[in-house]
């Protein structure tokens, strides 16, 4: 069966520090992968999506970047975190027009 793993579950980072969040998918190949952010009291905003290795599309300009070094690995990064980067980050993959989400990472920038 297909599963999606996302870590860490929670993270507290100082302003200006780097960030790396990782997402991996098992049980499927060549999935479409996504990063969403949920800010406090708001809905989910699509940040990046990827249809294959090295193929990244960004939905909004921001302080973040994404990479897909392997077929089932999707990484969200930042060189210098801002306070506004705080939020709940969710990785997702899609199959046959269905979407499955990871358990999320709660990022607090202090």
Q: Which of 55, 79 has the CB closer to other proteins?
A: 55
C-alpha–C-alpha distance, residues 11 and 48, integer Å = 20
Q: Is 53 exposed, middle or buried (0-12, 13-18, 19+ CB in 10 A)?
A: middle
Least CB distance to other proteins at residue 110 (A):
18
Least CB distance to other proteins at residue 16 (A):
26
The first and second tokens of residue 20, run together, are 């790396």
- Residue with structure tokens 């996504």? 34
**Which residue in 57, 63, 77, 84 binds other proteins (CB under 8 A)?**
57
Q: Is the peptide bond before 8 cis (omega within 30 degrees of 0)?
A: yes
Binding mask 5-44 for other proteins (x = CB under 8 A): -x-------------------------x-x-x-----xxx
Fill in the DSSP letter of residue 41.
T
Binding mask 70-99 for other proteins (x = CB under 8 A): --------------------x-x-x--xxx
- Residue with structure tokens 């809905």? 43
User: Applying CB under 8 A, which residues contact other proteins?
Assistant: 6, 32, 34, 36, 42-44, 46, 49, 51, 57, 59, 90, 92, 94, 97-104, 106
């Amino acid at each position: 069966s297909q599963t999606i793993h996302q870590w860490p579950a929670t993270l507290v980072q100082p302003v200006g520090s780097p960030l790396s969040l990782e997402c991996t998918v098992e049980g499927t190949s060549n999935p479409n992968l996504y990063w969403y952010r949920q800010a406090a009291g708001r809905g989910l905003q699509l940040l990046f999506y990827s249809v294959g290795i090295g193929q990244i599309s960004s939905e909004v300009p921001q302080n973040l970047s994404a990479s897909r070094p392997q077929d089932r690995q999707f990484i969200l990064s930042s060189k210098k975190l801002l306070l506004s980067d705080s939020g709940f980050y969710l990785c997702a993959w899609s199959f046959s027009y269905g979407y499955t989400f990871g358990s999320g990472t709660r990022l607090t920038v202090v």
